Amino acid sequence: MDDPSVEAFFSTLRAANPHPVTELAYSSVFELLAAVLLSAQATDVSVNKATRALFVAAPTPQRMLALGVAGIEQHIQRIGLYRSKARHLHETCRILVEEHGGRVPAQREALERLPGVGRKTANVVLNCAFGEETMAVDTHIFRVSNRTGLAPGKDTWAVEQGLLARVPAAYRQHAHHWLILHGRYVCQARKPACEACSVSRWCDSAPTMALHHSGSA
């Protein structure tokens, strides 16, 4: 994908969805952090089902801490890896209360020191809560970036750096949301919907349809 194609690619995605947002449900920065922490190897739908009651019971780090690991587990037991996630969330809340006055830090280094919070989670929080131009590379973004030729790379770090270098400034704020949604609903892993893809003309992997109609042979 050449640079003019990158511009057209994102311009098309923006026209279809000018203000993309995460599909995780939250009403505060803390709830966003908790939801993203719980979403590792789980669908947003399953996380939203679990946090609907969890966030009513414990909408702050202080109340989540008081709920205890066992209490958190009861709310999230249908989410994959729920036991380790409950421990991580509980310990994260302890650190937030003891070291950050119960507030979610806006610094990458501080976020990545929280249990269960890796670079991707920190990128989501920095982008959605604090407006930073980050690229939270999940399986969808990794696939789309490699398949389209937008930012090919062998690991998430390479793809992230490639995206930061190639995505035009005008689209950087929302780029990771457009790519996640595109990978989730159009450029799917097993059966990409190339025939319905609005950006297939700029994709390095899209099948060439011109001159291949049944009557052209």
Give tens-digit pLDDT for 182-206: 999 999 999 999 999 999 999 999 8
Q: 177 and 18 in contact (C-beta within 8 Å)?
A: no
Residue 60 pLDDT:
97
Q: How far apart are CA 57 and CA 186, in angstroms?
A: 36
Choosing from 2, 49, 138, 204, which is the catalytic residue?
A: 138
pTM of the complete model: 0.87
Q: How far apart are CA 4 and CA 10, in angstroms?
A: 10
Asked if residue 46 and residue 119 are part of one domain, the reply reads yes
Q: Is the pLDDT of residue 17 over 50?
A: yes
* Residue recorded with tokens 């990771």: 176
Question: Domain span at residue 176?
Answer: 3-20+135-202
Asked if residue 124 and residue 38 are part of one domain, the reply reads yes
Residue 112 pLDDT:
96
Residue 208 pLDDT:
63
pLDDT digits (tens, 9 = 90+) for 163-187: 999 999 999 999 999 999 999 999 9
Domain harbouring 179, CATH code: 1.10.1670.10
Report yes or no on 211 lying in a domain: no
Mean pLDDT, to the nearest integer, of 37-55? Answer: 94
Active site residue 138: yes
Q: What percent of the chain has pLDDT over 90?
A: 90
Q: Give the list of residues 6+ apart from residue 110 with CB closer than 8 angstroms, or none.
A: 100
Helix and strand numbers (H, E) in the chain are 10, 0
Q: What percent of the chain has pLDDT over 70?
A: 95
Q: 184 and 140 in contact (C-beta within 8 Å)?
A: yes
Residue 207 pLDDT:
80
Asked if residue 77 and residue 62 are part of one domain, the reply reads yes
Q: 46 and 37 in contact (C-beta within 8 Å)?
A: no
Q: 92 and 114 in contact (C-beta within 8 Å)?
A: yes
Report yes or no on 213 lying in a domain: no
Among 122, 133, 196, 121, CA closest to 164? 133
Between 139-148 and 175-185, two packed helices, what is the crossing angle to 10 degrees? Answer: 90
Choosing from 3, 49, 85, 120, which is the catalytic residue?
A: 120
pLDDT digits (tens, 9 = 90+) for 117-153: 999 999 999 999 999 999 999 999 999 999 999 999 9
Q: How far apart are CA 23 and CA 11, in angstroms?
A: 21
Report yes or no on 118 lying in a domain: yes
Q: 126 and 134 in contact (C-beta within 8 Å)?
A: yes
pLDDT digits (tens, 9 = 90+) for 83-127: 999 999 999 999 999 999 999 999 999 999 999 999 999 999 999
State the total domains in the chain.
Answer: 2
Asked if residue 100 and residue 148 are part of one domain, the reply reads no
Q: Is the pLDDT of residue 215 over 60?
A: no
